[in-house]
Amino acid sequence: MIGLDWFLIITALIIVIIQTSRGTKDFDLVFFEMLTVIISAYLATKGYQWLTDISQINPALVFIFLYLLMELILLIIANTIVKYTEFNWPPFDSILSFFFGIATAWALLYVLLRFASLGNIPLISHTSIEKSVVAQEILGFKTFHAIISFLTKLQIG
């Protein structure tokens, strides 16, 4: 394992711990935050190339700007929803927050790695991303695809 692998694993652990501890107090906010991070990452990934072609600006800057803009808009919407609705499942808040923390960490690290692969971040080079097992897993969803393929072969999924 290279240094980037350890950085990604430790960062993911920190995010999961924070989200899990926050979820025991405010489960619905952790849930909506997870949704905003995933949706923002998806929209930024799908839209940055189109905006880059139109604006002729560096793709990394367009990607991160689009991600942050979507994240801000969706967080405002999520906070508004949380103010007026409250849902929780007391016996399952911690375990669900743990899984939501994993999804949030995955999406945030995906955004970081996508940004690094589009631009020049001194600490994360293209070579280190290509050599990193964890980075390739985050960017390629290989384990997820393998599990779905296995379940499909078993005719469960």
pLDDT tens digits, one per residue of 118-138: 877 777 777 788 888 888 888
What are the backbone dihedrals phi and psi of residue 143, each rounded to the nearest 5 degrees, phi first?
-65, -40
b/e for 24-42, b at 16 or more Cβ within 10 A? eebbbbbbbbbbbbbebbe
pLDDT tens digits, one per residue of 24-54: 887 888 999 999 999 999 999 888 888 888 8
Angle at 124 between CA 51 and CA 97, to 5 degrees: 80
Report the distance separating Cα 19 and Cα 1, nearest Å: 26
pTM score above 0.75? yes
pLDDT tens digits, one per residue of 7-25: 999 999 999 999 999 888 8
pLDDT value at 157 more than 50: no
Radius of gyration of the chain (CA): 17
Report the distance separating Cα 129 and Cα 124, nearest Å: 7
The pLDDT value recorded for residue 154 is 79
